[in-house]
Amino acid sequence: MASAILKRVSASAKSTLVESMRSRASSRAFAAVAIGTDIVSAAPNVSLQKARSWDEGVSSKFSTTPLKDIFEGKKVVIFGLPGAYTGVCSQQHVPSYKNKIDEFKAKGIDSVICVSVNDPYTLNGWAEKLEAKDAIQFFGDFDGRFHKSLELDKDLSVALLGPRSQRWSAYVVDGTVKALNIEEAPSDFKVTGADVILNQI
């Protein structure tokens, strides 16, 4: 009798676990960024931090920029990368956009944005080092909430970076994703460069 009851309880628990896993998988698939996603709605109450010096941060009272101010009513090319001062990001990813900025403008793009899970002060120093601030707007996602909301977050502890982001790019019109590219690995640079997204606009 006790054995039969345990079997029934075990079966019930197993069924509940399976349903829970299905529900989570369904929820994650629904929440993940994709073509057609409204970025502002997918990341509610999330703001980014425009790259700036510490003194500029203090004078602005550490202000942040709501996503709607970045995307609504605009044509935006945005690309995310694992981190400032890292290899592929510095040597290939940012330069590919910096060198093609005139082509983006010719296609009617209002802004080209680089976003990374970094504080805005680190990003500012890096952007200045790359001499890219005049061409590209840099925004920090200091706590990773933006990338987590879009399910573009990535644990890069193996490279001593901790929680970071995938390497990705998107063409966004009035907040809606029209084209999206995500590398298989953050160290790859095959589908997220400027040339690829230029052909998708």
CB within 8 Å of 162: residues ≥ 6 apart: 155, 156
114 a catalytic residue: no
Phi, psi of 168 (to 5 degrees): -150, 165
Taking a C-beta distance cutoff of 8 angstroms, is the pair 67, 110 a contact?
Answer: no
Name the catalytic one among 76, 89, 115, 197: 89
Q: Give Rg (Cα) of the chain.
A: 20
As a whole number of angstroms, the distance between CA 113 and CA 111 comes to 6
Taking a C-beta distance cutoff of 8 angstroms, is the pair 181, 77 a contact?
Answer: no
Beta strand pairing status for 111-116 and 176-182? unpaired
Active site residues: 89
